[in-house]
Structure formats: structure tokens, C-alpha cells
Amino acid sequence: MPAQVERFQTFKAFYPFYLQEHANVTCRRLHFIGSTLVLLILATALLRGEYALLWLMPLVGYGFAWIGHFFFEHNRPATFQYPLYSFIGDWVMYKEMWTGRIRW
């Protein structure tokens, strides 16, 4: 019988797992770069009224993150199993990197 996969019921329970999946500093840095670029794309699109740029947001955000996971962390992104919690986790981790709680 296959191993039972844990299903997290709350973000609070999920977040420690999320941080474990981002132990590699290069992976975290790539997430940080991708998230920063996503915010810059959003601001540029809104300020210039160039809404066609918005399609770049998931490409850039997930692109940097997935490169970090596949080439540096060597794990499968949590997004595939927990899309909403992972999305929230990205932004919580981003904030915690800015505030110095997490090393980047």
C-alpha cells in the first residue's frame, strides 16, 4: 500500500513544511527574485495601463521558483500539491526575508 500523504488542514500547520521545502539558500533567493519581479511587473502594468504584461507574472514567479526547486533544492514544488497554501507561503516567506527572519 502506498504511503499516506499528509494533508494540511491549515496554513499554520503547512508553513513549517513549506519552510523545510525551501532549506536551500539559492532556492530561497530565486523565489525572492521571482516575487520581486512579479511585483515590478504588476506595478508597471497598472501604472502604464499595459495589462498585457500581467501574463508574465505567473511565468516569472513560478519560473524562478521552479528553477530553484529542480536545480538547487532537488524537490518537487509544494505548489503541485498545495497550490493555495504555497502561494500564501511564497508571500509570507518573502516578507520574512525582507524583515530578516529568514536568511536570503
DSSP at 46: H
Condensed to tens digits (0 to 9), the pLDDT of residues 58-91 reads 999 999 999 999 999 999 999 999 999 999 999 9
Q: Which residue type occupies 103?
A: R
Q: Which of the four pLDDT bands, split at 50, 70 and 90, describes residue 32?
A: very high
- Cβ within 8 Å of residue 94, ≥6 positions away: 31, 32, 35
Share of the chain above pLDDT 70, in %: 94
Would you say residue 1 has pLDDT above 50?
no
Q: What does the CA dihedral 67, 19, 75, 24 come to, rounded to 10 degrees? A: 60
Would you say residue 7 has pLDDT above 90?
no
pLDDT of 14: 98
The residue among 93, 94, 37 whose CA lies nearest residue 64 is 37
Q: Return the C-alpha cell found at 3.
A: 504511503
Query: Could you give the residue ranges of the DSSP H alpha helices within the chain?
Result: 11-20, 25-48, 56-67, 83-98
Instruction: Report how far apart, in Å, the C-alpha atoms of 88 and of each of 20, 23, 44, 48 are.
Output: 15, 17, 22, 27
Q: Which pTM value belongs to this model? A: 0.90
